[in-house]
Structure 1
Amino acid sequence: MTTTTRSEFDQGIALARRPGEPGLYDGELDAGWQIGGGVNGGLLLAVAGHALSLELGEHGEHADPVSISGYYLSAARPGPATVRTEPVRQGRSLSTGTASLSQGGEERLRVLATYGDLAGAEDDVRTTARPPQLPPPEECIGMEHAPKALIKQAALLERFDLRLDPSTVGWAVGQPSGNGRIQGWFRLADGREPDPLMLLLVADALPPVTFDLGMPGWAPTIELTVHLRARPVPGWLRVSHATRNLAGGYFEEDAEVWDESGRLVAQSRQLARAPRPQ
């Protein structure tokens, strides 16, 4: 008999329907997904996204997030969590719903999302976008070279096989470029292949681009929107995060995620609070 072990990501977003309460799901946020003062925002979005996938995909084929926006209301902590979903509209090609992730009666995340079937997004591609030019993964900087202080405040990095472009990691040795860009190769350390729900995590997986502005520290997300453009093929993902404007204590972070085939599979923008001075 073969025993199948679920990946850490699948365990991290696992949910159980609560009997007798339609649209309500129970889960557990693991301490291994923490960064700074709370659980990673991308993981939280994937948990809420999973609940909507179960709810909107139950009576049709709309199990893939197409556009999902999350507003972060309070910092999530390791421990039990509940997600309450509500379908808003279910159409032929798209369905829309909301989700609210709470802990102990306190709402952590509010989501509005549209779902569909990304298998139908494979044919017509017209784009001028190009993937970031990166050295091969073996020539990039792995997390084994990360400053101990970074790993201490970002436990989730130990679950990633993240290889950063050497040209964007000067901040790790006290020499940030000031360009506001961090990019590299990404996959999960346990070998779990990418899918649409995992892309929600990847959109918020790299160190904050403020590191490259010489501003280390936790940068809590205020709002994160992810547009999913296709189902990723197996293999490495190329990820680029960048900012152009930090003002009033807040900055935007734009991300692009490309799969092994060279296809742009996800785009995102988030508004985050700049790290407080050390």
Structure 2
Amino acid sequence: MPTPHPFDQAISLTRGEDDLFYGHTSEHYWNAISPFGGTTVATLLQAILTHPQRLGDPLALTVNFAGPIKKGPFTARVHPVRTSRSTQHWQMEIHQGEDSEPVITGTAVFAVRRETWSDTESKLPDVAGPEGLVSYVPPHAVPFLQRYDLRYVDCDPLAGGESSVTQCWIGDVPRRMLDFPSIAAYCDVFVPRVFVRKGAPRPIATVTLSINFHVDEAVLAQHEGMEAFGKAKANAFNGGFYDQEAQLWSRDGTLLATTHQLVWFRD
């Protein structure tokens, strides 16, 4: 039996009673002082995807990072609060130890999509494919960054300057087929915008992250892709917080997801 991909190991859960799932932080996807936020988001999404009451595919989710996750076991609770014929609303939490307060809170919406008039205004930029680009080597050996192949098409993301825009191809290491959890993780893999503007790392922490998915499971299965193209930017830095918005496309130009987050930073 083949060894599971490190990402699948990182988001693996054991089903408990009622709406509870049990997991463990992953050394492979550790950030500086806590787990990579993308795997936290993907883990909560995975809990809903495997929940017996799940309806349809993910439409939107928001995850709030209320406190630090420590190394070790954790308990996730995902609860469907209301279900209609085509949409389903969920509440999500992660707890650790005996602490009654959650370290993560969030909401998600799943839906059954239907055939309607469709159009996509956000187009894949006219850029070279990943094959001719060099893989980004981060200045510090952060564990989770070793699990992603990032290939920037426009600039050194830590060059500094007046623009926070970066564009890059994103893939898993080792390579892995795209699915909803990996897309969710990709939404948080971009170099933080304040690093891009200032040209160097500094203390940051994501406060809240939202994702809108623009494909369903059937469309995603047709692509069988192993990488996505991402474009990210900030709109404002003030009062110790900044935002980051981004889009993700498949290689054929299908818009996979759009995402927005607010991040705390320190000068």
TM-score by length of 1: 0.86
- Equivalent residues in 2 for 1:237-248 (5 A)? 237-248=228-239
The code of the aligned residue for 2:205 comes to P
**SS class of match (1:262):** coil
Q: Deviations over 1:50-109 (max 9, x none)?
A: 112222xx24542x2211011111121221111012210112111111110111134221
The code of the aligned residue for 1:240 comes to K
Alpha-carbon distance in 1 for matches of 2:229, 2:165: 14
> Does residue 163 of the first structure (1) align with residue 158 of the second (2)?
no
The residue number in structure 2 matching 1:54 is 50
**SS class of match (2:105):** strand
The correspondence for 1:199, drawn from 171, 179, 183, is 183
Residue 130 of structure 1 deviates from its aligned partner by 1.3
The residue number in structure 2 matching 1:84 is 77
**SS class of match (2:103):** strand
> Does residue 183 of the first structure (1) align with residue 178 of the second (2)?
no
The code of the aligned residue for 2:3 comes to T
> Does residue 109 of the first structure (1) align with residue 104 of the second (2)?
yes
TM-score by length of 2: 0.90
**SS class of match (2:204):** coil
> Does residue 229 of the first structure (1) align with residue 217 of the second (2)?
no
Q: Deviations over 1:135-162 (max 9, x none)?
A: 331333313x332x2x2xx210111122
The gaps in structure 1 that reach 5 residues or longer are: none
Alpha-carbon distance in 1 for matches of 2:115, 2:255: 11
> Does residue 30 of the first structure (1) align with residue 26 of the second (2)?
yes
The gaps in structure 2 that reach 5 residues or longer are: none
**SS class of match (1:22):** coil
Q: Alignment identity in percent?
A: 23
Q: State how many pairs are aligned.
A: 258
Alpha-carbon distance in 1 for matches of 2:177, 2:149: 12
Residue 261 of structure 1 deviates from its aligned partner by 1.9
Q: Report the more deviating stretch, 246-255 or 182-191.
A: 182-191
Once superposed, what is the RMSD of the aligned Cα atoms? 1.9
Residue 249 of structure 1 deviates from its aligned partner by 0.9
Alpha-carbon distance in 1 for matches of 2:63, 2:9: 21
The code of the aligned residue for 1:189 comes to V
The residue number in structure 2 matching 1:267 is 258
User: Per the alignment, do residues 122 and 221 of structure 1 end up closer, same or farther by CA in structure 2, a change over 3 Å counting?
Assistant: farther
- Equivalent residues in 2 for 1:80-159 (5 A)? 80-106=73-99, 107-117=102-112, 120=113, 124-143=117-136, 145-147=137-139, 149=140, 151=141, 154-159=142-147
Residue 208 of structure 1 deviates from its aligned partner by 0.8
The residue number in structure 1 matching 2:205 is 220
Runs of 4+ in 1 over 3 A off after TM superposition: 120-124
Alpha-carbon distance in 2 for matches of 1:8, 1:102: 23
Q: Deviations over 1:165-216 (max 9, x none)?
A: 2x23152xxx323201222001111221111121110100121122210152
Q: Report the more deviating stretch, 128-137 or 252-261.
A: 128-137
Alpha-carbon distance in 2 for matches of 1:210, 1:142: 21
